[in-house]
Amino acid sequence: MYKLHAFAQSGNCYKVALALDVLGQPWEPVFIDFFGGQIRSVQYRESVNELGEAPVLDDGVLRLTQSGVILTHLAHQHGRFGGGAEAQQREVLRWLLYDNHKFTSYFATYRFMYSLADAAPVPAVMDFLHARFSTAFAVVDKHLQHSAFIVGDAPTIADFSMCGYLFYPVEESGVDVRPKYPAIGRWLQRIQALPGWRGPYECLPGERIAPRPRS
Ligand SMILES: N[C@@H](CCC(=O)N[C@@H](CS)C(=O)NCC(=O)O)C(=O)O
């Protein structure tokens, strides 16, 4: 059975959990104590992931890291959600790269600093991150005005990757994405309707943390 090293607040872990659930593949969670510092320990880097990151997937033979690599592996292994023809597969990769660089990363960092980090956020840093993810969200919203899913009219791993942080509660980021970006909102509804869908706090291991109180 697949083993997914993960923690509940990680949208990057959720990307993989969602793919496994929608593929109908049973998997076992292995809790990472992110907030207790486990991921930064020498032990974690030496024995779990030299990159010092989550998610990590054990598939029985391979140990894989980087959600985009894991998703691509799962799509190949199960012959689903990887895109059909070569041109579509290339599109899937293009959006995975865009997601990792611009769509997920700025928003995930913003959310972490907004409500999960110990220290209060620095306003100038938050303004920068907000501007960066807003640009990316507008790009994706425009794209989704003409496309049911990120690549064509059927779901792919690009969707699972890009929605990773968008099913968390609004109070964790302070950004109500659905009304602000209506095409993204409709796309999230389509993903949520896929058989097997579960939210991040339903499937990932670890306690839910109350967002840090705002001053
Ligand atoms: N591009 C990576 C990002 C992974 C990542 O940044 N994971 C976070 C948790 S959501 C992490 O482990 N951060 C630890 C750190 O940056 O020190 C992926 O998609 O897997």
CATH of the domain at 39: 3.40.30.10
- Does the C-beta of 9 come closer than 6 Å to ligand 1? no
* CB-based contacts of 116, cutoff 8 Å, min separation 6: 9, 35, 172, 209, 211, 212
Indicate whether 146 and 95 sit together in one domain.
Answer: yes
Mean pLDDT along residues 2-15: 98
Indicate whether 26 and 119 sit together in one domain.
Answer: no
- How many Å apart are CA 145 and CA 68, to the nearest integer? 24
Predicted confidence (pLDDT) per residue in 114-156, tens digit: 999 999 999 999 999 999 999 999 999 999 999 999 999 999 9
- Does the C-beta of 10 come closer than 6 Å to ligand 1? yes
Indicate whether 158 and 173 sit together in one domain.
Answer: yes
* CB-based contacts of 87, cutoff 8 Å, min separation 6: none
Q: How much is the pTM?
A: 0.98
Predicted confidence (pLDDT) per residue in 38-96, tens digit: 999 999 999 999 999 999 999 999 999 999 999 999 999 999 999 999 999 999 999 99
Indicate whether 94 and 187 sit together in one domain.
Answer: yes
Indicate whether 137 and 74 sit together in one domain.
Answer: no
User: How many domains does the chain contain in total?
Assistant: 2
Long-range interactions of 148-151: CB distance < 8 A, separation 24+: 148/187, 148/190, 149/187, 149/190, 150/92, 150/95, 150/187, 151/83, 151/88, 151/91, 151/92, 151/95
Which is more confidently placed, 213 or 71? Answer: 71
Is 37 within the bounds of a domain? yes
Indicate whether 48 and 23 sit together in one domain.
Answer: yes
C-alpha 105 to ligand 1 mean position (Å): 9
215 confidence band (pLDDT: 50, 70, 90): low
Domain that holds residue 129: 86-192
CA distances from 64 to 30, 67, 161, 192, 214 (A): 14, 9, 16, 26, 37
- Does the C-beta of 49 come closer than 6 Å to ligand 1? no
Ligand 1, residues 7, 12, 14: which to mutate, most atoms within 8 A of Cβ?
A: 12
- How many Å apart are CA 185 and CA 181, to the nearest integer? 6
Atom of ligand 1 nearest to the CA of 55: 20
Indicate whether 52 and 116 sit together in one domain.
Answer: no
Predicted confidence (pLDDT) per residue in 155-170, tens digit: 999 999 999 999 999 9
Is 214 within the bounds of a domain? no
Indicate whether 42 and 122 sit together in one domain.
Answer: no
C-alpha 85 to ligand 1 mean position (Å): 30
Do 11 and 116 contact (CB within 8 A), yes or no? no
- Does the C-beta of 66 come closer than 6 Å to ligand 1? yes
CATH of the domain at 133: 1.20.1050.10
Structure-block tokens of residue 30: 């292995």
C-alpha 9 to ligand 1 mean position (Å): 11
